[in-house]
Amino acid sequence: MKKFLAVLLVSILCLALAVPAMADAWKAGDTVYFHVNAKAGGGTDLYTRYLTQALGEVCPGVNFVVNNYETSEVGMATVINAKPDGYNLGTCHGGAIIQWYTGSSNINLKDQAKIVGIMNLGGPQAIIAGPNAPYKNFTELAEYLKANPGYVMIGCSLGGTTQMIFTSFVEAIAGDKDLAMYVQCASEADKLTNVASGSIDIANCSIPNALSYEADGRLTILGTIGPKMSTIASMSELLGTELGSQYASGPEQGVESATWDSNYYVYAPAGTPDEVCQAINEAICKASEAASFVEGNKAMATFVAPVNFEDTQAAFTTEWEFLDGLVTGLGLKTR
Protein backbone atom coordinates (compact mmCIF):
# COMPACT_ATOMS: atom_id res chain seq x y z
CA MET A 1 0.00 0.00 0.00
CA LYS A 2 2.82 2.39 0.92
CA LYS A 3 4.59 1.57 -2.31
CA PHE A 4 1.41 2.22 -4.27
CA LEU A 5 0.90 5.59 -2.58
CA ALA A 6 4.50 6.55 -3.25
CA VAL A 7 4.17 5.76 -6.93
CA LEU A 8 0.88 7.65 -7.07
CA LEU A 9 2.44 10.69 -5.37
CA VAL A 10 5.39 10.67 -7.73
CA SER A 11 3.06 10.35 -10.72
CA ILE A 12 0.95 13.28 -9.57
CA LEU A 13 4.09 15.35 -8.99
CA CYS A 14 5.39 14.50 -12.46
CA LEU A 15 2.04 15.34 -14.03
CA ALA A 16 1.91 18.59 -12.11
CA LEU A 17 5.37 19.47 -13.36
CA ALA A 18 4.78 18.29 -16.90
CA VAL A 19 1.39 19.82 -17.59
CA PRO A 20 2.39 23.47 -17.08
CA ALA A 21 5.48 22.96 -19.27
CA MET A 22 3.38 21.64 -22.19
CA ALA A 23 0.45 23.99 -21.71
CA ASP A 24 2.50 27.19 -21.31
CA ALA A 25 1.68 28.28 -24.85
CA TRP A 26 -2.01 27.55 -24.58
CA LYS A 27 -4.53 26.35 -22.02
CA ALA A 28 -6.90 23.44 -22.41
CA GLY A 29 -10.17 24.66 -23.88
CA ASP A 30 -8.51 27.40 -25.94
CA THR A 31 -8.78 27.66 -29.71
CA VAL A 32 -5.65 28.45 -31.71
CA TYR A 33 -6.02 29.61 -35.30
CA PHE A 34 -3.52 28.76 -38.00
CA HIS A 35 -4.00 31.07 -40.98
CA VAL A 36 -2.68 29.50 -44.15
CA ASN A 37 -2.00 31.96 -46.95
CA ALA A 38 -2.95 29.45 -49.60
CA LYS A 39 -5.95 27.48 -50.79
CA ALA A 40 -6.97 24.25 -49.12
CA GLY A 41 -5.29 21.18 -50.53
CA GLY A 42 -1.95 22.73 -51.44
CA GLY A 43 1.45 21.92 -49.94
CA THR A 44 1.45 24.61 -47.26
CA ASP A 45 -2.07 23.67 -46.26
CA LEU A 46 -1.27 19.98 -45.89
CA TYR A 47 1.90 20.64 -43.89
CA THR A 48 -0.11 22.91 -41.60
CA ARG A 49 -2.79 20.29 -41.11
CA TYR A 50 -0.18 17.68 -40.22
CA LEU A 51 1.26 20.13 -37.72
CA THR A 52 -2.08 21.02 -36.14
CA GLN A 53 -2.99 17.36 -35.89
CA ALA A 54 0.28 16.65 -34.06
CA LEU A 55 -0.14 19.74 -31.86
CA GLY A 56 -3.53 18.41 -30.90
CA GLU A 57 -1.80 15.27 -29.67
CA VAL A 58 0.90 17.02 -27.65
CA CYS A 59 -1.39 19.77 -26.31
CA PRO A 60 -4.46 17.86 -25.23
CA GLY A 61 -7.59 19.95 -24.80
CA VAL A 62 -6.44 22.72 -27.10
CA ASN A 63 -8.46 23.14 -30.28
CA PHE A 64 -6.47 23.94 -33.44
CA VAL A 65 -8.30 25.41 -36.40
CA VAL A 66 -6.88 25.92 -39.89
CA ASN A 67 -8.23 28.82 -41.96
CA ASN A 68 -7.36 29.12 -45.62
CA TYR A 69 -7.11 32.34 -47.62
CA GLU A 70 -7.40 32.44 -51.37
CA THR A 71 -5.33 35.61 -51.45
CA SER A 72 -1.94 35.05 -49.83
CA GLU A 73 -1.63 38.68 -48.79
CA VAL A 74 -4.94 38.64 -46.92
CA GLY A 75 -3.91 35.53 -45.01
CA MET A 76 -0.61 36.99 -43.92
CA ALA A 77 -2.17 40.35 -43.06
CA THR A 78 -4.68 38.55 -40.84
CA VAL A 79 -1.84 37.16 -38.75
CA ILE A 80 0.32 40.25 -38.50
CA ASN A 81 -2.68 42.38 -37.55
CA ALA A 82 -3.96 39.94 -34.94
CA LYS A 83 -3.46 40.30 -31.21
CA PRO A 84 0.06 39.18 -30.29
CA ASP A 85 -1.14 36.63 -27.76
CA GLY A 86 -0.08 33.42 -29.49
CA TYR A 87 -3.57 32.44 -30.62
CA ASN A 88 -3.25 33.52 -34.23
CA LEU A 89 -0.36 31.99 -36.14
CA GLY A 90 0.59 31.73 -39.77
CA THR A 91 2.61 29.34 -41.87
CA CYS A 92 4.68 30.15 -44.91
CA HIS A 93 7.89 29.31 -46.72
CA GLY A 94 10.77 31.36 -48.11
CA GLY A 95 8.66 32.44 -51.05
CA ALA A 96 7.14 35.08 -48.79
CA ILE A 97 10.57 36.68 -48.47
CA ILE A 98 10.99 36.73 -52.24
CA GLN A 99 7.54 38.25 -52.71
CA TRP A 100 8.44 41.06 -50.33
CA TYR A 101 11.63 41.86 -52.20
CA THR A 102 10.06 41.70 -55.67
CA GLY A 103 7.15 43.90 -54.62
CA SER A 104 4.49 41.22 -55.01
CA SER A 105 3.73 41.44 -51.33
CA ASN A 106 3.60 44.28 -48.80
CA ILE A 107 4.27 41.98 -45.87
CA ASN A 108 7.79 42.15 -44.41
CA LEU A 109 8.09 39.07 -42.22
CA LYS A 110 11.32 40.35 -40.67
CA ASP A 111 9.70 43.47 -39.21
CA GLN A 112 6.01 42.63 -39.06
CA ALA A 113 6.17 39.09 -37.71
CA LYS A 114 8.06 36.87 -35.32
CA ILE A 115 9.21 33.49 -36.55
CA VAL A 116 8.36 31.08 -33.75
CA GLY A 117 9.15 27.72 -35.26
CA ILE A 118 10.14 25.63 -38.21
CA MET A 119 7.38 23.37 -39.48
CA ASN A 120 9.64 21.35 -41.76
CA LEU A 121 13.04 21.61 -43.40
CA GLY A 122 11.80 21.32 -46.94
CA GLY A 123 12.35 18.35 -49.14
CA PRO A 124 14.16 17.31 -52.28
CA GLN A 125 12.70 17.96 -55.68
CA ALA A 126 13.48 15.96 -58.78
CA ILE A 127 14.92 17.82 -61.76
CA ILE A 128 13.08 16.40 -64.75
CA ALA A 129 13.47 16.45 -68.50
CA GLY A 130 11.61 14.90 -71.42
CA PRO A 131 12.03 11.19 -72.21
CA ASN A 132 14.31 11.92 -75.17
CA ALA A 133 16.40 14.64 -73.55
CA PRO A 134 20.03 14.77 -74.80
CA TYR A 135 21.30 14.88 -71.21
CA LYS A 136 20.89 12.37 -68.42
CA ASN A 137 22.52 14.02 -65.42
CA PHE A 138 23.80 17.36 -64.13
CA THR A 139 27.21 17.03 -65.80
CA GLU A 140 25.71 16.39 -69.24
CA LEU A 141 23.20 19.16 -68.68
CA ALA A 142 25.99 21.58 -67.80
CA GLU A 143 27.87 20.68 -70.99
CA TYR A 144 24.73 21.09 -73.04
CA LEU A 145 24.01 24.47 -71.47
CA LYS A 146 27.48 25.72 -72.28
CA ALA A 147 27.25 24.42 -75.85
CA ASN A 148 23.79 25.91 -76.40
CA PRO A 149 23.60 29.09 -74.33
CA GLY A 150 20.09 30.51 -73.87
CA TYR A 151 18.47 27.53 -75.54
CA VAL A 152 17.42 25.20 -72.74
CA MET A 153 14.01 26.21 -71.48
CA ILE A 154 13.48 25.84 -67.74
CA GLY A 155 9.94 26.04 -66.44
CA CYS A 156 9.59 27.81 -63.10
CA SER A 157 7.53 30.39 -61.27
CA LEU A 158 8.96 33.65 -62.60
CA GLY A 159 9.90 35.93 -59.75
CA GLY A 160 9.19 33.12 -57.31
CA THR A 161 11.01 30.48 -55.36
CA THR A 162 11.58 28.05 -58.22
CA GLN A 163 13.22 30.69 -60.38
CA MET A 164 15.57 31.37 -57.49
CA ILE A 165 16.21 27.64 -57.15
CA PHE A 166 16.95 27.17 -60.83
CA THR A 167 19.12 30.25 -61.28
CA SER A 168 21.13 29.14 -58.28
CA PHE A 169 21.24 25.59 -59.67
CA VAL A 170 22.36 26.59 -63.18
CA GLU A 171 24.98 28.89 -61.69
CA ALA A 172 26.22 26.01 -59.54
CA ILE A 173 26.48 23.39 -62.30
CA ALA A 174 27.45 25.54 -65.29
CA GLY A 175 28.88 28.73 -63.83
CA ASP A 176 26.43 31.19 -65.39
CA LYS A 177 22.74 31.47 -64.63
CA ASP A 178 22.02 33.13 -67.98
CA LEU A 179 22.93 29.98 -69.92
CA ALA A 180 19.32 28.85 -69.60
CA MET A 181 16.06 30.49 -70.57
CA TYR A 182 13.49 30.73 -67.77
CA VAL A 183 9.83 30.56 -68.66
CA GLN A 184 6.66 30.61 -66.60
CA CYS A 185 5.44 27.22 -65.45
CA ALA A 186 4.16 27.41 -61.91
CA SER A 187 2.08 24.42 -60.87
CA GLU A 188 3.34 20.87 -60.60
CA ALA A 189 0.62 19.81 -63.01
CA ASP A 190 1.83 22.25 -65.67
CA LYS A 191 5.43 21.20 -65.17
CA LEU A 192 4.68 17.51 -65.57
CA THR A 193 2.52 17.95 -68.65
CA ASN A 194 4.74 20.50 -70.36
CA VAL A 195 7.95 18.55 -69.81
CA ALA A 196 6.33 15.24 -70.80
CA SER A 197 4.90 16.82 -73.96
CA GLY A 198 8.17 18.55 -74.83
CA SER A 199 6.78 22.08 -74.57
CA ILE A 200 9.57 22.94 -72.13
CA ASP A 201 12.88 21.22 -71.51
CA ILE A 202 13.37 21.12 -67.76
CA ALA A 203 11.39 21.62 -64.60
CA ASN A 204 11.15 20.33 -61.06
CA CYS A 205 8.57 18.14 -59.42
CA SER A 206 8.04 16.07 -56.29
CA ILE A 207 9.88 12.78 -56.19
CA PRO A 208 6.74 10.63 -55.89
CA ASN A 209 5.42 12.16 -59.12
CA ALA A 210 8.82 11.80 -60.72
CA LEU A 211 8.89 8.11 -59.87
CA SER A 212 5.44 7.60 -61.31
CA TYR A 213 6.07 9.41 -64.57
CA GLU A 214 9.53 7.89 -64.99
CA ALA A 215 8.15 4.37 -64.57
CA ASP A 216 5.70 5.13 -67.36
CA GLY A 217 8.51 6.30 -69.61
CA ARG A 218 7.33 9.89 -69.77
CA LEU A 219 10.25 11.63 -68.08
CA THR A 220 14.02 11.51 -67.60
CA ILE A 221 15.31 12.24 -64.11
CA LEU A 222 18.53 14.25 -64.10
CA GLY A 223 18.99 14.35 -60.34
CA THR A 224 17.55 16.00 -57.27
CA ILE A 225 17.97 19.31 -55.56
CA GLY A 226 17.09 19.94 -51.96
CA PRO A 227 18.42 20.46 -48.45
CA LYS A 228 22.06 19.59 -47.83
CA MET A 229 20.94 16.47 -45.96
CA SER A 230 19.45 15.03 -49.15
CA THR A 231 21.32 11.99 -50.34
CA ILE A 232 20.06 8.93 -52.20
CA ALA A 233 20.16 7.05 -48.89
CA SER A 234 18.32 9.69 -46.85
CA MET A 235 15.75 10.25 -49.60
CA SER A 236 15.20 6.51 -49.98
CA GLU A 237 14.57 6.27 -46.25
CA LEU A 238 12.27 9.28 -46.37
CA LEU A 239 10.20 7.86 -49.18
CA GLY A 240 10.34 4.25 -48.06
CA THR A 241 11.51 3.14 -51.48
CA GLU A 242 14.94 2.47 -52.97
CA LEU A 243 15.87 5.28 -55.34
CA GLY A 244 18.07 4.73 -58.35
CA SER A 245 21.32 6.58 -59.02
CA GLN A 246 19.50 9.02 -61.30
CA TYR A 247 18.09 10.61 -58.13
CA ALA A 248 21.54 11.59 -56.90
CA SER A 249 21.69 15.05 -55.33
CA GLY A 250 23.93 17.88 -56.49
CA PRO A 251 26.75 17.10 -54.03
CA GLU A 252 26.52 13.42 -54.92
CA GLN A 253 26.98 14.41 -58.55
CA GLY A 254 30.04 16.48 -57.70
CA VAL A 255 28.38 19.89 -57.46
CA GLU A 256 28.58 20.80 -53.78
CA SER A 257 26.70 24.08 -54.11
CA ALA A 258 23.74 22.59 -55.98
CA THR A 259 21.55 22.44 -52.88
CA TRP A 260 18.53 24.35 -51.69
CA ASP A 261 17.80 24.85 -48.02
CA SER A 262 14.39 26.36 -47.49
CA ASN A 263 12.20 25.90 -44.49
CA TYR A 264 8.49 26.14 -43.82
CA TYR A 265 8.01 28.54 -40.94
CA VAL A 266 5.40 29.25 -38.31
CA TYR A 267 5.08 32.94 -37.50
CA ALA A 268 3.20 35.13 -35.05
CA PRO A 269 2.43 38.88 -34.95
CA ALA A 270 5.48 41.05 -34.29
CA GLY A 271 4.58 42.08 -30.73
CA THR A 272 4.23 38.54 -29.40
CA PRO A 273 6.23 38.29 -26.14
CA ASP A 274 9.37 36.19 -26.29
CA GLU A 275 8.20 33.80 -23.58
CA VAL A 276 5.04 33.06 -25.56
CA CYS A 277 7.14 32.48 -28.69
CA GLN A 278 9.42 30.16 -26.75
CA ALA A 279 6.45 28.18 -25.48
CA ILE A 280 4.97 27.89 -28.96
CA ASN A 281 8.34 26.76 -30.28
CA GLU A 282 8.52 24.05 -27.62
CA ALA A 283 5.08 22.81 -28.61
CA ILE A 284 6.10 22.75 -32.28
CA CYS A 285 9.30 20.85 -31.43
CA LYS A 286 7.30 18.24 -29.53
CA ALA A 287 4.79 18.01 -32.36
CA SER A 288 7.53 17.49 -34.92
CA GLU A 289 8.50 14.31 -33.11
CA ALA A 290 4.97 12.92 -33.15
CA ALA A 291 4.62 9.81 -35.30
CA SER A 292 1.67 11.19 -37.25
CA PHE A 293 3.63 14.32 -38.13
CA VAL A 294 6.72 12.43 -39.19
CA GLU A 295 4.70 9.98 -41.31
CA GLY A 296 2.70 12.76 -42.91
CA ASN A 297 5.79 14.68 -43.92
CA LYS A 298 7.39 11.47 -45.18
CA ALA A 299 4.39 11.01 -47.46
CA MET A 300 5.20 14.43 -48.89
CA ALA A 301 8.94 13.73 -49.00
CA THR A 302 9.80 16.45 -46.52
CA PHE A 303 12.45 16.38 -43.80
CA VAL A 304 11.44 17.27 -40.26
CA ALA A 305 13.41 17.88 -37.09
CA PRO A 306 12.79 19.89 -33.93
CA VAL A 307 14.56 23.26 -34.13
CA ASN A 308 14.76 25.39 -31.01
CA PHE A 309 13.77 29.04 -30.92
CA GLU A 310 17.28 30.48 -31.25
CA ASP A 311 18.22 28.21 -34.15
CA THR A 312 14.89 29.03 -35.80
CA GLN A 313 15.74 32.74 -35.71
CA ALA A 314 19.21 32.00 -37.08
CA ALA A 315 17.84 29.82 -39.90
CA PHE A 316 15.35 32.49 -40.91
CA THR A 317 17.99 35.21 -40.92
CA THR A 318 20.29 33.02 -43.02
CA GLU A 319 17.54 32.31 -45.54
CA TRP A 320 16.52 35.98 -45.59
CA GLU A 321 20.06 37.11 -46.40
CA PHE A 322 20.56 34.34 -48.96
CA LEU A 323 17.37 35.22 -50.83
CA ASP A 324 18.21 38.93 -50.61
CA GLY A 325 21.39 38.19 -52.51
CA LEU A 326 19.66 36.03 -55.09
CA VAL A 327 16.88 38.51 -55.81
CA THR A 328 19.42 41.34 -56.07
CA GLY A 329 21.54 39.25 -58.46
CA LEU A 330 18.54 38.76 -60.74
CA GLY A 331 17.76 42.47 -60.76
CA LEU A 332 14.31 41.88 -59.27
CA LYS A 333 14.73 43.71 -56.00
CA THR A 334 12.31 46.60 -55.62
CA ARG A 335 12.84 47.39 -51.95
Partner 1 sequence: MKKFNRTYVMGGLCLALSAWIVWQTGQVPTRLVAREPGPRFFPYISAAGIALFAILSMIFDGPKEAKNGNKPYLDKAGWIRLGVIMAETVVFALGMKYLGFWITSMAGMFMFIWTLKGKKKINLLFAILLCVGVGSLCYFGFTQGFHIPLPKGELWDAIGITMP
Partner 2 sequence: MLQSYIEALGILFQPTNFIMMYLCSLIGCVLGAIPGLSGGLGITLILPMTFALTKELSFSMLVGMYVGGVSGSFIAAVLVGIPGSAASIGTCYDGYPMTKKGQAARALSIGITGSFIGTFISIIVAMLCSGAIADVALSLGPWEYFSLCLMAITMVVGLSNGSIYKGLLSAFIGFFLAMIGADKVTNQLRFTFNNTNLFGGINMICLLMGTFALQQVATAYAKGQQEMPPVDTKSLRGFGLTLKDFTSNLKTIIVSLVIGLFIGFLPGMGSGISNLIAYGQAKKMDKHPEKFGTGYDPGVWATEVANNAGVGGALIPMISLGIPGDATTVLLLSAMTIKGLTAGPMFIKTNPVVAALIFLIVLVSAVLIFFTELGTKRWFPYLLKAPYHYLFSAILTICFMGAFTANTSMFSVYLMIGFGVLGVVMDMFGMPMTPLMLSFILGPKIEEYFRTGVSYARGDYTRFLTRPISLIFILIAVYSVVGPIITKAIKNRRAAKKGEVK
Using CB under 8 A as the criterion, which residues of the chain lie in contact with partner 2 when the complex forms?
A: 39-42, 45-46, 49, 53, 66-75, 77-78, 102-106, 153, 157-160, 181, 183-186, 189-190, 192-194, 196-197, 199-200, 208-209, 211-213, 215-216, 218, 292, 296, 299-300
Q: Does 103 bind partner 1 (CB under 8 A)?
A: yes
Q: Collapsing DSSP states into helix, strand and coil, what is residue 266? A: strand
Buried b / exposed e along 310-335 (16+ C-beta atoms within 10 A): eebbebbeebbebbbebbeebebbee
Find which of partner 1, partner 2, none residue 218 binds, CB within 5 to 8 Å per kind: partner 2
Residues in contact with partner 1, shown as a per-residue x/- string from 15 to 44 under the rule CB under 8 A: ------------------x-----------
Of residues 160 and 251, the one with the C-beta less far from partner 1: 160
Q: Are 205 and 188 within 8 A, CB to CB? A: yes
Q: Which of 9, 14, 181, 233 binds partner 1 (CB under 8 A)?
A: 181
Q: Does 186 bind partner 1 (CB under 8 A)?
A: no
Q: Are 105 and 76 within 8 A, CB to CB? A: yes
Of residues 209 and 259, the one with the C-beta less far from partner 2: 209
Find which of partner 2, partner 1, none residue 216 binds, CB within 5 to 8 Å per kind: partner 2
DSSP state of 218: S
Q: How far apart are CA 335 and CA 328, in angstroms?
A: 10
Find which of partner 1, partner 2, none residue 300 binds, CB within 5 to 8 Å per kind: partner 2
Residue 326 has phi, psi (to 5 degrees) of: -65, -50
Helix axes 309-329, 95-102, angle to 10 degrees: 40
Of residues 158 and 300, the one with the C-beta less far from partner 1: 158
List all residues 6 or more positions away from 152 whose beta carbon is below 8 Å from its beta carbon.
141, 144, 145, 179, 180, 181, 201, 202
Of residues 45 and 282, the one with the C-beta less far from partner 1: 45
Interaction with partner 1 in 114-143: which residues (CB under 8 A)? none
Q: Does 67 bind partner 1 (CB under 8 A)?
A: yes
Find which of partner 2, partner 1, none residue 23 binds, CB within 5 to 8 Å per kind: none
The stretch among 119-127, 177-185, 223-231, 318-326 that binds partner 1 (CB under 8 A) is 177-185
Find which of partner 2, partner 1, none residue 106 binds, CB within 5 to 8 Å per kind: partner 2
Of residues 181 and 233, the one with the C-beta less far from partner 1: 181
Of residues 75 and 117, the one with the C-beta less far from partner 2: 75
263 by Cβ neighbours in 10 Å (0-12 / 13-18 / 19+) ranks as buried
Residue 221 has phi, psi (to 5 degrees) of: -100, 125
Residue 138 has phi, psi (to 5 degrees) of: -65, -40
Q: Does 87 bind partner 1 (CB under 8 A)?
A: no
Find which of partner 2, partner 1, none residue 332 binds, CB within 5 to 8 Å per kind: partner 1
Q: How far apart are CA 144 and CA 174, in angstroms?
A: 9
Closest to 74 in 3D by CA, of 42, 40, 36: 36
Q: Where are the alpha helices (H) located in 83-160, listed in sequence order? A: 95-102, 109-112, 138-147
Task: To the nearest 10°, report the CA torsion of 292, 294, 300, 301.
Answer: -160
Find which of partner 2, partner 1, none residue 37 binds, CB within 5 to 8 Å per kind: none
Find which of partner 1, partner 2, none residue 172 binds, CB within 5 to 8 Å per kind: none
Q: Are 23 and 59 within 8 A, CB to CB? A: yes
Contact residues for partner 1 (CB under 8 A)? 33, 65, 67, 103, 158-159, 181-184, 331-332
